[in-house]
Amino acid sequence: MEAVRSSTDALPKEASRALTLPPTPPATASHSRDVSSDSDSDFEREVKGRHDPSSVKPAAYPLPPKTRPDIAVLPEDFKTPDNHVPRDSRLIRLTGVHPFNTEAPLSELYDEGFLTSENLHYVRNHGHVPKVEDDETLSWEFSIEGMVEHPIKLTLADLLKDYEQVTYPITLVCAGNRRKEQNVVRKTKGFSWGAAGLSTALWTGVVIGDLLKRAMPKRGAKYVCLEGADKLPNGYYGTSVKLNWAMDPNRGILVAHKMNGEALHPDHGKPLRVVVPGQIGGRSVKWLKKIIVTAAPSDNWYHIYDNRVLPTMVDPEMSANLPETWKDERYAIYDLNTNSATCYPAHNEKVPTVGTAKSYNVRGYAYAGGGKRVTRVEITLDKGKTWSLANISYPEDDYRLASDDETLYGGRLDMSWRESCFCWCFWDLTISIDSLAQADDIMVRAMDESMMVQPRDMYWSVLGMMNNPWFRVVIHKEAHELRFEHPTQPALMPGGWMERVKKAGGNLSNGYWGETVHGEEPSAAEQEPAIEICLVNKDVKRTITIDELRQHSGETEPWFAINGEVYDGTSYLEGHPGGATSIFGAAGQDASEEFLAIHSENAKAMLPQYHIGTLDDVSRAILSSGEVASVNAADNEGPRATFLQSKVWTKAILSAKKRLSSDTKTFTFELEHPSQTTGLPVGKHLMMRLRDPVTREAIIRSYTPISEIDEQGKLHVLVKIYYDTPERKGGKMTQALDSIPIGHFVDFKGPTGRFEYLGRGMCSIGAAQRKVKRFIMICGGSGITPIFQVLRAVMKEAEDPTQCLVLNGNRAEEDILLKAEMDGMIAGNEHRFRLLHTLSRPEASWTGPRGRIDAELLEKEVGPCADPDGDDLVLICGPEPMEKSAHAILGKMGWKDEDLMFF
């Protein structure tokens, strides 16, 4: 294997001498393999019969590690749409249980060698994996269409029979590789990949240019759009590459049906996918269904709003309102940038400073993009003042030595003429223990043949992609040993010097890796975590199975689970502020996500009195998937008349945002089909769920939409956005909602709430009905929305005799929401509708009441409770201080709690 060497004396003599030693790449398999694998069907063997397996000699190039025979469907996936996909439990899940996005532990990935087994190959799925049975694979059909003279429809059987097969080693890299480092500095909109978001395999298939030549692109065609079969909230996943790349054999773009000699695994595109060497993994579309030749880049949602590096000054909030910026092809990512990482020493690895070992072999990987070769890797022990060259090995070059007619796994090993580099390489440098003991860190950078070198500092961007600054491993001197610390650990795994430095108040963006610079004020350290509240009754020892839990999934004795503990909600059905429907909706299910995201510390402290037992380990594993409820029932049951479901999260697509004031917007969502209604009764709420883009933690809040109850196809939600200020953190949900782009989805569930207006003065509160002659409606800010919904229902029916008094408090006139709509209701209803707006910070021109909703205003407009029959009902919704104040004042005026309804 080729190695790059140097005689530099930048490191001490012991380290410099190491540069003359041969490189030590990770072990690779060296066994020979038949052209036809054991998994080939009779048809495939027939098609490949022109190849003689007996001619295969022991390979001089790496062959893949054997797959593990014990891989099965994991318990975490039992309740997800991926319950047909066997997976390796060693993979680290980056986005919770579902969808499946994973990387291998970095050390295990490196130890497998140049080629990665199917088991440990990283996975990037946007949704559920399409299920394709083995007997359906050869009939899998895809099309070549668009700007072509001869549109083509092909099956996999046609692909095998009519086209030459080739086999290439190709490294795939997710554009989010090393994103966790960016997320620690500042949250991006992407989840936290570690440094193992890449893998290498032998891919067998047909050169895409051969297919396009037969279809004959028309004059003016410039792009090849690719679309998969994975149905997602924003359509099928799709993207595009340039046509001249697809036609260039040096680019090596494949339509592949095998990985490491085996039929494609479901996670990797079974039965057919595209593999694009040298470009980000997001261009290599899985479950291929369409190849569309076009004059312009793809207009697919995922091509536009994914895999982009926007300018660094664009933050998550700004990005939501910049559709033209997202569509700008200058910011689209195609070729990979040059990158490297240290694999050994591993994170938290310890090396003795005393003993027989006098040196340590530091080693890792590097890669470049666009077919370029990594030409040097450099190591520094003094933060870049001096550097030494590492050895580099290129296992990919071993395949170039194969003869022109050599075949592998049924495909010609078409490598001898090719100069493009499709794969990662390995670097190593032996450094004396004494030199390591004198250093604070080890840093590595790589350069490619175009002299592009990894930057010293991070380029933060809103999606957190293409992160490639110098990879820094910190060295801790401990008793008789050195301990090494990587920058981060993937997903939510704690650890790494970046998190440690940030928690200590270090500024990770100061260009000095968080070390305090002279004259720089340290930033405030993160707050200490809150004291954990006990959620269980420690005297309860009962073990409960999932079958027992599911027997209580109805409205009689509803049980639910939180963090593997089981609770009986029966005794709280009447008293629950969200109404009995909230508990019924969670009955028989894991309610961890919803409960912990919504409820206050006081509510959590109440749980022990409802605790009845603990799920057994098997039941806990089966129930662990909170994502199964995200699957639209429409996928399984056909169109539904109403959108909301009490036990299932359903997705709606954001289609419009309308600004009403400086901090308030109406968000419009498209329902599943144009004739669908929300199914939300008057006075009830719905729950909305988004996910924190970094932690994947669910953000769930209740809202009352302002849509008409019978409106079809659309849902309108008015939201006051609480932005971050220097004095306080803003609203998690409102800012997250504001940051998502048009075309993104939001999960909905419902209805919830204790109150429902039935019409003509009849209400339902909990399980009881009540006749009301007058509503006194007290609200503030966006608390107008549930009030507005009830008010509109009353005023809409001319024969409804119910009286309404609305007291609406705001700061300034521009803050009054739905003012025009309420003013419009007054006309013709003056005898039963009175509306008062009071402002705490009015302009001089304001002629209405001034000040807050206080005792003076309530005594004047509402007065003491003089109705012993309960014909008056007070509805209250607004900021917590306003609600508490109104509650106290009305109580002193003789109003009973049963006559007050807080939304």
Tokens encoding 441: 């860190």
Tokens encoding 300: 């697919």
Identify which of 586, 584, 587, 589 has the alpha carbon closest to the alpha carbon of residue 574.
Answer: 584
Q: Give yes or no: 174 in active site.
A: yes
Q: Is the peptide bond before 217 cis (omega within 30 degrees of 0)?
A: no
Residue matched to tokens 């390995």: 426
Active-site choice (40, 77, 101, 174) = 174
Q: Give yes or no: 804 in active site.
A: no
Question: Residue 866: which residues within 8 A CB-CB, separation 6 or more?
Answer: none
Kind and range of the H or E run holding 109: helix 106-111
Residue 356 backbone dihedrals phi, psi, to 5 degrees: -80, -30
Question: Residue 67: which residues within 8 A CB-CB, separation 6 or more?
Answer: 117, 118, 119, 260, 262
Question: Residue 756: which residues within 8 A CB-CB, separation 6 or more?
Answer: 681, 682, 683, 684, 763, 764
Q: Are 836 and 808 in contact (CB under 8 A)?
A: yes
* Cα angle, residue 346 at apex, residues 341 and 349 outer, rounded to 5°: 155
Q: Is the peptide bond before 75 cis (omega within 30 degrees of 0)?
A: no
Residue 29 backbone dihedrals phi, psi, to 5 degrees: -70, 145
Calpha distance 412→144 (Å, rounded): 24
Question: Residue 747: which residues within 8 A CB-CB, separation 6 or more?
Answer: 630, 649, 650, 651, 688, 689, 690
CA distances to 784, 785, 786 from 790, rounded to whole Å, are 10, 9, 7
Residue 225 backbone dihedrals phi, psi, to 5 degrees: -90, 140
Q: How far is CA 283 from the centre of its chain?
A: 18
804 is in an annotated binding site: no
User: Helix count (H) and strand count (E) of the chain?
Assistant: 24, 43
Active-site choice (306, 414, 441, 663) = 306
Q: Is the peptide bond before 297 cis (omega within 30 degrees of 0)?
A: no
* Cα angle, residue 892 at apex, residues 890 and 894 outer, rounded to 5°: 75
Q: How far is CA 334 from the centre of its chain?
A: 21
Q: Which residues pair with 838 in a beta bridge?
A: 809
Pairing of strands 374-380, 388-389: antiparallel
Calpha distance 238→225 (Å, rounded): 7
Kind and range of the H or E run holding 472: strand 471-478
Calpha distance 314→321 (Å, rounded): 10
Q: Quick one: DSSP state of residue 335?
A: B
* Coil/strand/helix, residue 585: helix
Q: Quick one: DSSP state of residue 51?
A: S
Calpha distance 592→624 (Å, rounded): 9
Q: Give yes or no: 307 in active site.
A: yes
Active-site choice (307, 391, 507, 810) = 307
CA distances to 358, 479, 482 from 354, rounded to whole Å, are 8, 10, 10
Strands (E), 706-786: 714-720, 745-752, 755-759, 762-765, 768-771, 774-780
Calpha distance 770→870 (Å, rounded): 9
- Known binding residues: 174
Active site residues: 174, 306-307
- Known binding residues for Mo-molybdopterin: 174
